[in-house]
Amino acid sequence: MPPLSASLLDTASPPIPEVQAWGRAYDGSCGPLMNLCQAVPAYPPPNAMLRRLAEAAGEPASASYGPILGEPTLREAVAEELRLTLGGGEAENVAITAGCNQAFFVALTAIADAGDAVLIPTPWYFNHAMAARMTGIEPRPLPCRAENGFVPDVEEAARRMADGRVRAVVLVTPNNPTGAIYPPEVIAAFHALCRDRGAWLILDETYADFLPDGGRAHDLLAGGNWPEALIRLTSFSKSFAIPGHRLGALAAPASVLPEMTKVMDCVQICANRGAQAALTWGLAALDGWRAERRAEATRRAGRVREAFSRLDGWRLESVGVYFAYARHPFGAESAWRVCEHLAREHGMMALPGPAFGGEERHLRIAFANLSETDIPALESRLRAVATAAVPA
């Protein structure tokens, strides 16, 4: 057989399918299988959104190609939300993508070549590292530590950029996998570093809709014009509970969007047109529903924090509104083996820290997939795990 790409073969496989396979071996003895490995909202979209999605999908226009950068009405709606939440942004800065993963791939392809590097805080979102590695770009780790709240250090970043090969720093806030929220001054310091070094700041704000106080995440857009050296990514999968419709957005200086259009035209041409029409309505109409979901997520996070405070052995090192990042109670035992044991024997599919470039003793638990009433069952199962040995 002819060879495959060496860069692709050097890229680790996504961990979620492997963990889900372990879950399929679970016998149900502890109760229903808990999907704690993939961030999926525990609730459906509101009925009004479902109706709009169905109606838009049935329109003949939705079956044809649309504008590569997205429907003009949705681009303007996204820009309006940027102005309301962050203080700036115009439709000419916005491109609509098939989810945030596509937005990242478009940005990465546009700003870096094989042999370049991108600096990514670890633990990192594994798809970011995968996308870099398979395109011949070095995903260079920037270690973050529990004692600092898993917030990256800008001075350490500057040291790791000293060879001049780093084309971008990638920040995810609120973070996946740790849930950490980066302070506005940290984000501003990283943007200044990137601007001074001739690099890009790629700011992934997929979970910004779930900031506990609903406040402004940073002031990078407050100046009016789109900032130099900033590419901002987001997803509508979580905030509107529509991950299957694959909608995200990329925002950048208007001058670079024509180059990014080349990438988008080769990847998907245009995002789902029916879903774009429904989202255009939803961005203006569902503020109240989104605020309720934000409050619900904050309550759920609080209950998870309380649950871990009662658990012996487990140590909660960081928690956000979607993820808990915890140390397991089995010493130097491989986190992969712990996760396999959790899935097969206790019906909890979580992801190991090493899947995110993190330490062996950590697990990421995507608790947002559970309802608030499921948290006691999660606590009970984690307690049972801590009192048993991981089988050899």
Q: What's the CATH number where 281 sits? A: 3.40.640.10
Same domain assignment for residues 320 and 221:
no
In a domain, 1, yes or no: no
Are 106 and 35 within one domain?
Answer: no
Long-range contact set of residues 28-31: C-beta below 8 Å, sequence gap at least 24: 28/347, 29/347, 30/345, 30/346, 30/347, 30/381, 30/384, 31/347, 31/377, 31/381
Domain that holds residue 341: 6-44+288-386
Nearest residue to 69 (alpha-carbon basis) of 206, 231, 260: 260
Burial bucket for residue 60 (CB in 10 Å: 0-12, 13-18, 19+): exposed
Tell me, yes or no, whether 129 and 63 share the same domain. Answer: yes
How many Å apart are CA 154 and CA 197, to the nearest integer? 13
Dist CA 146 CA 327 (whole Å): 10
Q: How far apart are CA 279 and CA 258, in angstroms?
A: 24
Q: What is the pTM of this model?
A: 0.94
**Domain of 11: which CATH number?**
3.90.1150.10
Beta carbons within 8 Å of 82's beta carbon, 6+ residues apart: 88, 89, 93, 94, 221, 251
* pLDDT score recorded for residue 373: 87
In a domain, 320, yes or no: yes
Are 371 and 307 found together in one domain? yes
Burial, 222: exposed, middle or buried (Cβ in 10 Å; 0-12, 13-18, 19+)?
exposed
Q: How crowded is the C-beta side of 316, counted as CA atoms within 13 Å?
A: 22
Burial of 200 (0-12, 13-18, 19+ CB in 10 A): buried
What averages of pLDDT result for each successive group of 10 residues across the chain (392 residues)? 90 92 95 92 93 95 95 97 94 97 96 97 95 96 94 97 97 95 96 97 95 84 91 96 95 97 94 96 95 91 95 93 92 92 95 90 92 92 81 57
User: For the chain, how many structural domains are there in total?
Assistant: 2
Quick one: 363 and 376 in the same domain?
yes
Distance CA 228, CA 215 (A): 24
Q: Which amino acid is at 297?
A: A
- Residue 211, token pair as written in the block: 């900031």
User: CA 340 to CA 31: how far, in whole Å?
Assistant: 17
